[in-house]
Structure 1
Amino acid sequence: MIIAVLVAVLLPLGLYSYHSTLKETRELLDGRLAQSARTLDVLIQNGGVASIRKQGQGPLIVPIIGRKAEEELMHGRTYESEVGYQLLDRHGQIQLTTANLARLPLPHTLISGFENYFFEGYGWRVFTLTDEANGVVIRMGERDDSRRDITHALSVDLGLTQLIGLPLLAVLVGWAVGRGLRPLERLTQALASRAPGSRQPIQLDQAPQELQPVVQALNSQLERLEDALERERRFSADVAHELRTPLASTMIHLDTAMSGEVQPGTKTALISAQSGLSRLARRIEQLLALARIEAGAAAGQRREVDLVVLAMNVIDELAPLLGESGTDFAFLEHEQSLPVHGYEAALAALLRNLIENAMHHVPPGHGMVQLALERYGDKAVIEVIDNGPGIPAERRASVFARFHREASSSGDGYGLGLSIVQRAAQLHDATIELLDASSGRGLRVRVTLPLFASAKAASPLSASE
Structure 2
Amino acid sequence: MTSLRRRTLWLVLGLMIFGTALIAIYNFHDSSHEIAEIYDAQLAQNARLLQGVMQMPMQTDQHEQLYQAFNEALSQAGHHKIGHPYESKMAFQVWGADGQSLVHSASTPAFEKPLDNPGFSDLTSAGHGWRGFLLPDEKLGLRIWVGERDDVRQDLVDRIVRHTLLPNVIGILLLAVLVWLAIGWGLKPLQDMAQIIRGRHPESLDPLHLVPLPKELEPMQAALNRLLFQVESMLQRERRFIGDAAHELRTPLAVLHVHAQNALQAPNDIARNEALNYMIVGVDRLTRVVNQLLIMARVEPELAPKTWRLIDLEAVVRETLVELTSWVLNKGLELSLEVQPGSYRITSDGAAISIALQNLLTNAANFSPAGGELLVHLSQLPEGEIQLSVKDMGPGIDEQQLARLFERFYSQGNPQGAGLGLSIVEMIAKRLGGSVMLKNDHAGGLLATLKLPGSASNKLKKTTI
**Normalising by the residue count of structure 1, what TM-score does the alignment of the two structures yield?**
0.48
